[in-house]
Amino acid sequence: MTFSKEVKEEISLLDFPNHCAKSLLSSYLKNSLEISIIDGEIKWEILSQSPFILRFIYKLLMQLYDVDKEFLFSEKKMPKNSTLYKMIIKGNLNKIEKDLKLFGNEVSFKKNCCSRAYVAGLFLSGGSVNSPNSKTYHMEFKLKNIELKDTLEKIFKSINIDSKLLIRKDKYILYIKKSSFISDILKFMSAQNSMFKYEDKRISKDFSNQLHRLNNLDISNLKKTVNAANDQITCISWIIDNKKEFEKLSEKERNFCNLRMENNDLSLKEISEEYYRKYKVKISKGSIFHYIKKIKNIYENRIS
């Protein structure tokens, strides 16, 4: 089961009071409803890859309205061996249409929880979210018309969610890439278990990636330290072999040369600490850098 299906099934197991059920049904039906006339009778068709969701939508309709209990699922094979299910409902449709304002642009919420249900309905009808184990974070809502797009953007803005818009095949697609925003939306839709799972996987993955970056950084710094030390040793070796040049150095500079020859893998900070341990004299990294610069100048001038 994909993570998207897990989220949708969790939402479908929630209990919604009547005012929230109306908001969820309104957004879901506006985004997925097809109207047909069969044997002279108007009927509604709803398509979904999840019979679980269709049963949930039918349960909410029965919770609020006197819908004809006769309905059916017809299967249509889709690419990638998935199945598309169609549910046909009939009876008392005019009342449902007016009560849910299905064909109007007016959208209002009695309570704050109703906007949560509205977003949940849109996710059930056209939403998807990548698994937190994926390389990238991605959540999107495929929307049938601009009114749904405007309403969802308004809700996202009210909870400080930054979404981006893409138009594809006459569909409006609002998508979110930031992982913290995706987590906030899961929580907003009351998909708490999915949110906790998402956060757990996200934190674990981010920690692993950060650790990997730090390891790479440590290796890179170690290579730089070793390369720099090798360059210094080349210069120091030449100066030591030329005793007159070595004797021109100060005592601290000569001590540094001897210390570096004995420790070719230490950083400047570690050299400073070792210098104090061995000679009981404190020298800064800046002083060591000055010694190195002087030694390199002597070496470069002598071989030029």
pLDDT in tens, 170-212: 889 999 999 889 999 999 999 999 999 888 887 776 656 665 6
Instruction: Report d(CA 220, CA 64) in Å as an integer.
Output: 65
Q: Domain limits at 134?
A: 3-190
Residues 148, 221: one domain? no
Residue 177 and residue 86 share a domain: yes
> Are 147 and 291 part of one and the same domain?
no
The total domain count for the chain is 2
Q: Is residue 205 part of a domain?
A: no
Instruction: Kindly state whether residues 100 and 248 are assigned to the same domain.
Output: no
User: Are residues 56 and 141 located together in one domain of the fold?
Assistant: yes
In this structure, the answer to whether residues 152 and 225 fall within a common structural domain is: no
For residue 60, being part of any structural domain is answered with: yes
The reply to whether 70 and 145 lie within a common domain is: yes
The better pLDDT of the pair 71, 204 is held by 204
pLDDT tens by residue, 8-50 = 999 999 999 999 999 999 999 999 988 877 777 778 888 888 8
Q: Are residues 170 and 228 both part of a single domain?
A: no
As given in the structure block, the two tokens for residue 75 are 């299967």
Same domain, 181 and 265: no
174 plus 72 within the same structural domain: yes
Rounded average pLDDT over 248-252: 88
- For residue 152, pLDDT over 90 is answered with yes
CB 48 within 8 A of CB 54: yes
The answer to whether residues 185 and 261 belong to one domain is no
Whether residue 209 lies inside any domain: the answer is no
